[in-house]
Structures are given as C-alpha cells and as structure tokens.
Structure 1
Amino acid sequence: MQAWPVQDAKARFSEFLEKCLTEGPQMVTRRGAEAAVLVPAEEWRRLQAAARPTLKALLLAEEPRVDLAVPARGGARRRPPPALD
C-alpha cells in the first residue's frame, strides 16, 4: 500500500484514484501520521458485508446486543380472588 501525503493526494487526485483502482488501497498521511485510506468501491462493499453479523451469528452469540431492564420477580402484591357464592 502506497502512502500519499494529503497535499500530494489533493494535487494529483486523478493519479491517486487510478493507483487505487489498479494497485489497491492507498494510504493518505497527514503530518506523517496515517489519516485515511482510499479503497475501490467493490472492496469497500466486501468489507462492509463481512463486518455485518449474520442472523445466525447474532442468535448464537454469548453476549446480548442490548441490556433489557427486567423487574425482579415476586415483588408485586396480588388482589385476593373474588369470593365464590
């Protein structure tokens, strides 16, 4: 993966995009630190699909995805049943 300083990526965007499409993802750096990556659209779609869990994975997961507030049992008082005459 080639690294491009942000000013070079801006100044030569057509070349930057072409390299991305022909050679794969291209890194953009800002002040020497990695800032972003340009990837082809198909690669992005593949990564997005791979990151999304399947229904089977969600159902078989050990940990819950949300916390439900379930009240404690046995704290409710009940009315006595009506008398049978």
Structure 2
Amino acid sequence: MNSWPVQDAKARFSEFLERCLTEGPQMVTKRGAEAAVLVPAEEWRRLRASAQPTLKELLLSSQALTETLVPARGLPGRAKRRTPTALR
C-alpha cells in the first residue's frame, strides 16, 4: 500500500485517486502518522457488507435478544431484601 502525506494527496488528488483505482488502497499520513485510507468504492461496499453489526444495530433490530442482555430480576440464589423492623 502506498503512503501519501496529506499535502501530496491534496495537491495531486487525480493521481492519488487513479492509483487507488489501479493499485488498490492508498494510505494518507498526517504529520507522519497514518490518518486515513482511500479504497475503491467496490472494495468499500464489500467490506461494509461483511462487517458485523454494531451494538446499536443489534439492539434496534427486530431480532434483538434482550432477554440475554438484561438478566432477570430475582434470580434464585440471590439475597433478598430484608423488610425493615418497626422501631421501638
């Protein structure tokens, strides 16, 4: 994977994009640290399709299994609250 400083990627964007399309993903660095990657659109779609759902997506889905996420109250073997005794 080629690495491009952000200044070069901005100044030579057409070349940057063309290399992405012909050679594959291109890394962009900012102050020497990896900052972003430009990938072809088809590869991005493939990656998104194979990604696992986020916790938010799982909780909002119609197949959410909330019974396993939130334990039931009053499980056997748990200590029960004592009832307060009257003051004398």
TM-score normalized with structure 2 length: 0.64
**How far 1:46 sits from its partner (Å)?**
0.7
1:26 aligned residue: 26
Select the structure of larger CA radius of gyration: 1
- CA distance in structure 1 between the aligned counterparts of 2:50 and 2:4, rounded to whole angstroms: 27
Which residue is 1:49 aligned to? 49
The corresponding residue for 1:80 is none
Runs ≥4 residues deviating over 6 A = none
Matched, 1:6 2:6: yes
Structure 2 CA distance for aligned equivalents of residues 9 and 73 of structure 1: 59
Aligned residues: 66
Distance in 2 (CA, whole Å) between partners of 1:73 and 1:48 is: 40
| Secondary structure, aligned partner of 1:34 | strand
Partner of 1:68: 70
**CA offset at residue 16 of structure 1?**
0.4
Q: Identity percentage over the alignment?
A: 71
Q: For residues 73 and 27 of structure 1, what CA distance do their matches in structure 2 show?
A: 52
Q: Distance in 2 between matches of 1:52 and 1:9?
A: 31
1:39 lines up with 2:33 in the alignment: no
TM-score by length of 1: 0.66
How far apart, CA to CA, are the structure 1 residues paired with 2:15 and 2:75? 66
SS in structure 1 opposite 2:70?
Answer: coil
Q: What's the Cα RMSD here?
A: 2.6
Q: 1 CA distance for matches of 2:21 and 2:75?
A: 60
